[in-house]
Amino acid sequence: MAIEREIIVDAALTLLNEVGLERLTTRKLAERLGVQQPALYWHFKSKSALLDAVNEEMLARYHTHRVPGPGETWDQFAAATARSFRKAMLAVPDGARINAGTRPSTSQFADAERQLQLYVNAGFSSEEAFNISIALARYVVGFVLEEQDERERAEEDGRGSDADPMAEIAPFPILTEALRPLFKAGTVNTEAAFEAGLAYIIDGARQSLLRKRK
């Protein structure tokens, strides 16, 4: 039975939302679609190739700020695309793990070219532009990976929202003082932590650019 590539990818995303990455198999996917596994291999030679397509679809659906908008400055775009990238991966179970293990497509290269052009136009070299882009992407992937793993562990441990997250670090005054603003409703305020780290990266790039102009 012939089956379209788009239908396979859509079903894979649906199944991924139900069972997670570790339990997503081509056998389960074939059963969901009512076909034999060889029908999947016509489009995807391996599970890795399938996940490449799933990652591309995840970004197409949820990463809404992949390229600069009209009049957008490089630092405005850097912040906006990082937030959008994080949102996209959080929209899918194990989204960060999927993205980290996949290869970019031609369409992603085209988006990257437009991103780099914005940085180059601002005064960065092509190498500096690439390093900024990579630093942002890896920061976001690493951050979301920790977020999703922590969420999964909390669910497995059955930790209640009434647990005191500060109790373990009470003997350490500097750590307690540093983390207190990050805790909200019994858990770490990941939004604040993410924004703080993002600001450091962008400000570092901004200072580098200012030094070049002196």
Helix, strand counts (H, E) of the chain: 10, 2
Q: Tell me, yes or no, whether 40 and 103 share the same domain.
A: no
Q: What is the pLDDT of residue 151?
A: 77
Burial 93-106 (b: 16+ CB within 10 A, else e): bbbbbbbbebeeee
Q: What is the pLDDT of residue 190?
A: 87
- Across the range 35-62, mean pLDDT stands at 91
Dihedral of alpha carbons 147, 152, 156, 158, sign = positive
Q: Is 37's pLDDT higher than 80?
A: yes
Give 178 or 77, the one with higher predicted confidence. 77
Over the chain, what is the mean pLDDT? 89
Show the tokens assigned to 211: 């030094």
- Across the range 162-166, mean pLDDT stands at 68
Q: What is the DSSP letter of 159?
A: -
Indicate whether 52 belongs to any domain: no
Domain that holds residue 205: 65-213
Q: Name which of 108, 116, 130, 7 is nearest 60 in CA terms.
A: 108
Q: Tell me, yes or no, whether 11 and 94 share the same domain.
A: no
Indicate whether 189 belongs to any domain: yes
Q: Is the Cβ–Cβ distance between 78 and 205 less than 8 Å?
A: yes
Q: What is the pLDDT of residue 172?
A: 92
Q: Is 72's pLDDT higher than 80?
A: yes
CA 85 → CA 56, 65, 149, distances in Å?
12, 8, 17
Q: What is the DSSP letter of 68?
A: P
Condensed to tens digits (0 to 9), the pLDDT of residues 173-213 reads 998 888 887 776 556 788 989 999 999 999 999 999 999 88
Condensed to tens digits (0 to 9), the pLDDT of residues 52-70 reads 999 999 999 999 999 999 9
Q: What is the pLDDT of residue 187?
A: 64
Give 89 or 154, the one with higher predicted confidence. 89
Those residues with Cβ within 8 angstroms of residue 24's Cβ, 6 or more apart along the chain or in another chain: 12, 15, 16
- E strands, 95-213, in order: 183-184, 187-188
Q: Is the Cβ–Cβ distance between 166 and 178 less than 8 Å?
A: no
Identify the CATH number of the domain in which residue 97 sits: 1.10.357.10
Indicate whether 34 belongs to any domain: yes
Q: Is 102's pLDDT higher than 90?
A: no
Q: Tell me, yes or no, whether 40 and 78 share the same domain.
A: no
Q: Is 160's pLDDT higher than 60?
A: no
Q: Tell me, yes or no, whether 41 and 75 share the same domain.
A: no
Report the domain count for the chain.
2
Dihedral of alpha carbons 70, 73, 76, 80, sign = positive
- Across the range 70-96, mean pLDDT stands at 97
